[in-house]
Chains A and B, each alone.
Chain A
């Protein structure tokens, strides 16, 4: 089965390469046991030691911390009002007074950009957790049960895989958010989260399934089974810890791409809408004034890009630390 990576429009990394030739399934966790015994530290300890020395890791971790603080306590960073402005200030350029200037409706761009973090990060985090839980659980079941259960679940995942990402999101969002309904902020946010999860879980499911398949036949699991360990115990005690690493790496990167995806949907006018404050909405509003006031585009874009980049960089750093081949 080739892997149709989610439409290139949103930056969702292709999870696995075609696996039929046995190439490239990311099974970092499936290390033979003896490879680990050779070193006194465990795989995770080793990875952490590696990670601590990487500036990339620290830079991205600090940035993420800042963004999370921004999302939780925006008032720490600004005293401005993100929602209301005075039209007299419309499109005033950045100055010492308002660092990022004012947008068309005279709202403080700095305040809007700070407050915009919340929507983006909340949506991305919840979607990521949802995707990991659903995709991970289904992948675990498919990989562990095998047989017709696996076949059925895999085909089911293929159905969602067949939907190009942006198109799928458009259909879902317009269906549930159609016909001039005046839906609340949280309702729309929930819808955006749902469409991200619905369209992304198959990637995680495949990732999980292939790591379970790779780990399932390992000697220590066969031994545990022979000793009479129940399914629940084998899954929780043995399979899960070993299949978690690639999932966590992918999850970290996914937060980044979901921030981008949320912004893309808002930008297209089918995601979050004003009066919600989000980077995507700001960028979308700025696009009509690109010739006159490019700074309106610049600041929210810069924040968006930095946020996405921090998560992707963190994921990369962790991946490199976990992948013994790259050492």
Chain B
């Protein structure tokens, strides 16, 4: 397990460097004048230009710039916006909200998706099976913002069952609808993967062995069948948590949640590219680490991987 971890970690390094360099290059080098459109609609103040040029060695080659930038980043310095706000502050305020939303979304998609997937996997071609197949097709096909608007309008405005936007207190009851919207597509995937996985493993030899051993059906399904079938599902959920933690730009926008996604969007609208880079780099790091975690989880769940 230790060696496996090390190998995966080493594979991660070039990807992280590549991805973050790509972003850095896009934002600071491609536009020619590095300060074009970085300070809102006005020209950047000279003090900011001088400060940034010196701090990030913007007069040097892109490689030096990037190295300087990463060095600062790893020392916990995420940079400042042109109007003197610490980017780290922005992240610190917004991130907890994003996390809360991500956890709620993950919980919803895991519970609903798994239940639907397991039930339909065990009994295929029934009414429930068709219902789940069709509804998952819809959830997969619908862009999140459409689902969000429709549910917000239907449940929030027309029927008044829930509050259409989320207050700054982020109460759990308020987060249920945004969480559902955010998790809707993944919920459908979870259901489908679980269904296929259960249906495939149901006829597996080891399930037959478990029955031949005279184990009660509860145990055959609950232990032998589920444990194997859940491997791809758990992996999917883990990967999805990585994506969810990368910020739900659309969902946060629709429901007015002050999360990291909205912070990025605001930075884009107000043309603060420096802020955008910093936040995106952090999010990419989170995303990649989550993927690493998923790999490890996968190895923990499937002993065949660990000893390969």
Contact = CB atoms under 8 A, between A and B. Distances in A.
Q: Do chains A and B touch in the complex (CB under 8 A)?
A: yes
A13 interface: yes
Contacts of B231: 21
A309 B252 CA distance: 25
Given A162-B288, A164-B284, A301-B149, A7 B243 contact: yes
Contacts of B153: 290, 294, 297
A7 B30 CA distance: 25
Interface of A: 1-11, 13-14, 17-18, 20-21, 23-24, 155-156, 158-164, 166-167, 170-172, 174-176, 178-180, 256, 260-261, 263-264, 267-270, 283, 287, 290-291, 294, 297, 301, 304-305, 308-309, 312-313, 316
B95 interface: no
B92 interface: no
A268 B265 CA distance: 8
Interface stretch (B114-122, B135-143, B213-221): B135-143
A37 to B, nearest CB: 25
Contacts, number: 199
A256 B250 contact: no
Given A4-B291, A9-B249, 9 more contacts: A7-B246, A11-B144, A17-B235, A21-B304, A155-B11, A155-B15, A172-B26, A175-B30, A179-B271
Nearest to A316: B137
Interface string B145-156: 110011011000
Q: Say what secondary structure dominates the interface of chain B.
A: helix
Nearest to B25: A175
Contacts of B18: 155-156, 158-159, 162
A162 B235 contact: no
Interface residues on chain B, size class? 35 or more
B207 interface: no
B15 A167 contact: no
30 contacts: A3-B239, A5-B240, A8-B144, A20-B305, A24-B232, A155-B18, A159-B14, A159-B18, A160-B22, A162-B15, A162-B284, A162-B287, A167-B246, A167-B283, A170-B249, A171-B276, A171-B280, A178-B271, A256-B141, A260-B141, A263-B143, A294-B157, A304-B143, A304-B146, A305-B141, A308-B141, A308-B142, A309-B138, A312-B137, A313-B137
Interface stretch (B55-63, B83-91, B185-193): B185-193
Interface stretch (B45-53, B68-76, B167-175, B294-302): B294-302
Nearest to B186: A8
B143 A10 contact: yes
Contacts of B138: 309
Interface in B26-43: 26-27, 30-31, 36-37, 41
Interface in B268-290: 268-269, 271, 273, 276-277, 280, 283-284, 287-288
A55 B15 CA distance: 45
Interface of B: 11, 14-16, 18-19, 22-23, 26-27, 30-31, 36-37, 41, 137-138, 140-146, 149-150, 152-153, 157-158, 182-183, 185-186, 189, 193, 231-232, 235-236, 238-240, 242-244, 246-251, 253-254, 264-265, 268-269, 271, 273, 276-277, 280, 283-284, 287-288, 291, 294-295, 298, 302, 304-305, 308
A158 B15 contact: yes
Contact of A8 (B26, B238, B244, B277): B244
A1 B7 CA distance: 11
B235 A175 contact: no
A309 B253 contact: no
Contacts of A13: 140, 189
A162 B31 contact: no
Contacts of B283: 164, 167
A283 B18 CA distance: 35
Nearest to B20: A162
Contacts of A313: 137, 141
Contacts of A6: 243
Nearest to A7: B243
A175 B19 contact: no
Specify which of B26, B36, B41, B145 lies most central, judged by the most chain A CB atoms within 10 Å of its CB: B145
